[in-house]
Amino acid sequence: MTGPGERSRKIKVIISKVGLDGHDRGAKVVAHLLREAGMEVVYLGMYQMPEAIVQAALEEDADVIGVSYLSGEHLVYTPILVEEMRKKGLHDVLLIAGGVIPPEDIPTLKEMGVDEVFVAGTLSQKIVEYIERHARRLGADNASSQSLRETGGRCQ
C-alpha cells in the first residue's frame, strides 16, 4: 500500500554499460531484479560514455548509478566517470559497479570512488540490501562516497 507521496520516494537507479562492452546479460538481469525489489530503474543499455551516464543521472535525479564492466575496461572508465560525477556535483549519488572484476582491483576501484563492487555470481538480495542501506533517499550512511567524490577521489 503506497500512496503517491511514498511512491515518489522510491529509490531511483541508473543501470548502464560503459564504452563498447556488449556483455549486457548481467546488467539487464540486475535492472529487472532491482525493479522487482521496488526500485525505479532507468536502464541506459549499451554504448554509454561516462558523460552520458552522469547526464542521465542528473536529469533523472537518480540516487544510484550502477555500471557493468565485463571486458576489463573498469580501470579505464571509472576515473573518468568519478571525475564527471564530481564535476556535475553528484556527491551524494551512490556509485556501484558489477561484472567481471578481479578481486585485486576492488580496493583500487574503491579508492577511485566506487562505493561497492558486486562481482558475477552475486545474489540480487545482497545488492538490494546494500542499496537500501546506503542510498541517499533513505537518509543512509554514505559518508565514504561523499567525502571521496568531493575531493575528486584519492587517485586525483
Partner 1 sequence: MAEAVQVPLRETEPNWDEYLKAYYSKPSSTKTWSGYEVKEFYTPQDLAGKDYEEHIGDPGSFPFTRGIHRNMFRGRYWTRREVIGMGSPADTHERVRLLLEHGSSGLNTIADITYEMGLDPDHPWAQNEVGLTGVNIAHIRDMEVLTKGVPLDKVSWSLITASPVAAVTMAQYVAVAEKRGYDISQLRGSIQNDPIHFRYCGFKPACPIDLSIRLGCDVMEFCTRRMPKWYYTTVNMYDLREQGLTAPQEVAFGFGIAMIYIDELIRRGLKIDEFAPRFTFYVSCHIDIFEEVAKIRAARRLWARLMKEKYGAKDPRSMQFRFAVHTAGCSLVPQQPLNNLVRIAYEALAAVLAGVQSLHCCSYDEPICLPTEKGHLQALRTQQILAYETGVCNVADPLGGSYYVESLTDKLEEEILKILEEVESLGGMEQAIRSEWFDRKLEQEAVERQKEIERGERLVVGVNIFTSEPEKQTPLGVQRIAPESAKAQIKETMELKASRDKAKLREAIERLRRDTVEGRNLLPAMIEATKAYATTGEIMGTVREAMGYPYDPMEILENPFK
Binding site for partner 1 (CB under 8 A): 17, 19-25, 28-29, 32-33, 46-47, 71-73, 76-77, 100-105, 119-121, 123-125
Q: How far is the CB of 103 from partner 1 (least distance, A)?
A: 5
Instruction: Give 10 or 28: the residue with its C-beta nearer to partner 1.
Output: 28
Written as nine digits, the cell of 38 is 521496488
Q: How far is the CB of 44 from partner 1 (least distance, A)?
A: 14
Instruction: Give 1 or 20: the residue with its C-beta nearer to partner 1.
Output: 20
Burial classification of residue 152, based on how many CB atoms lie within 10 Å of its CB (0-12 exposed, 13-18 middle, 19 or more buried): middle
Scanning the chain, the segments in alpha helix (DSSP H) are 4-7, 25-36, 50-60, 74-87, 106-112, 124-134, 143-150
Instruction: Give 17 or 134: the residue with its C-beta nearer to partner 1.
Output: 17
- DSSP code of 97? E
